[in-house]
Chains A and B, each alone.
Chain A
Amino acid sequence: GESVGLHLPTLSVQEGDNSIINCAYSNSASDYFIWYKQESGKGPQFIIDIRSNMDKRQGQRVTVLLNKTVKHLSLQIAATQPGDSAVYFCAENWGLGGYGGSQGNLIFGKGTKLSVKP
């Protein structure tokens, strides 16, 4: 079936370095993507989102890149800090702009665990 997956299950980086977390999706109808951060014992926390009519979006220290040609999504974290240590999930949704799509049915990948070494 169609799904969202991650290339790297774990990522270890040095404090201050940039981190890149990758995600592949297979549903060509997906038109909205979100990155979530989940710390141990907590719910997913929204980081940044992007629509399919964009290929890049920047937030505070984070950038999401979308390559629809190869169905690839990435999250870049600049100057990674120990507080960034968590599991990161990408999620996809389709039907943006209308009620015929998946609406609340976000499809999540398995997650990438980011560990930041001081």
Chain B
Amino acid sequence: GAGVSQSPRYKVAKRGQDVALRCDPISGHVSLFWYQQALGQGPEFLTYFQNEAQLDKSGLPSDRFFAERPEGSVSTLKIQRTQQEDSAVYLCASSLDSPLNSGNTIYFGEGSWLTVV
């Protein structure tokens, strides 16, 4: 498709379960981002890739969170031993290049809605 695609759209996980969220960025986009959005809040930055290189992971809340983009295209966000506070929408976004400017803005996917019970 033409946009950023994420799967699954909805995931219910039992506390302690591991989850993996997938992101297919827009074709040809070099930069890929993961954001976390809690209910009623704005998205918060988690991590950023340029091609396969993870250049910034300063937003990952704990070592239970891990992201990869091994071939510079599809990315996976993995959350180990999920906790209730991990419940949120996980948004993936991509941009043609970095740094950001008027020609390289960030386009978001629809998000993966994670509920930990």
Which residues does A use to contact B, with CB under 8 Å? 4, 32, 34, 36, 41-46, 49, 51, 89, 91, 93, 95-99, 101, 103-111
B33 partner residues in chain A, CB cutoff 8 A: 104, 106
Q: List 14 A-B contacts (CB under 8 A).
A: A32-B101, A49-B105, A91-B42, A98-B99, A103-B48, A103-B55, A105-B48, A105-B56, A106-B43, A106-B106, A108-B42, A109-B42, A110-B41, A111-B41
B48 partner residues in chain A, CB cutoff 8 A: 103-105
Q: Are B45 and A104 in contact (CB under 8 A)?
A: yes
Interface residues on B, range: 20 to 34
B16 contacts the other chain (CB 8 A):
no
Closest residue of chain B to A5 (Cβ to Cβ) is B42
A66 to chain B, nearest CB (A): 13
- Provide the bound-state CA to CA distance between A46 and B98, in Å: 17
Residue among B31, B56, B106 with the highest chain A CB neighbour number at 10 A: B106
Q: Are A44 and B98 in contact (CB under 8 A)?
A: no
Q: Are A49 and B102 in contact (CB under 8 A)?
A: yes
A33 to chain B, nearest CB (A): 10
B22 to chain A, nearest CB (A): 15
Q: Are B42 and A89 in contact (CB under 8 A)?
A: yes
> Of B4, B93, B101, which contacts A96 at CB under 8 A?
B101
- Provide the bound-state CA to CA distance between A110 and B44, in Å: 10
Known contacts being A43-B91, A43-B108, is A108 close to B100, with CB within 8 Å?
Answer: no
> Of A43, A107, A111, which contacts B109 at CB under 8 A?
A43
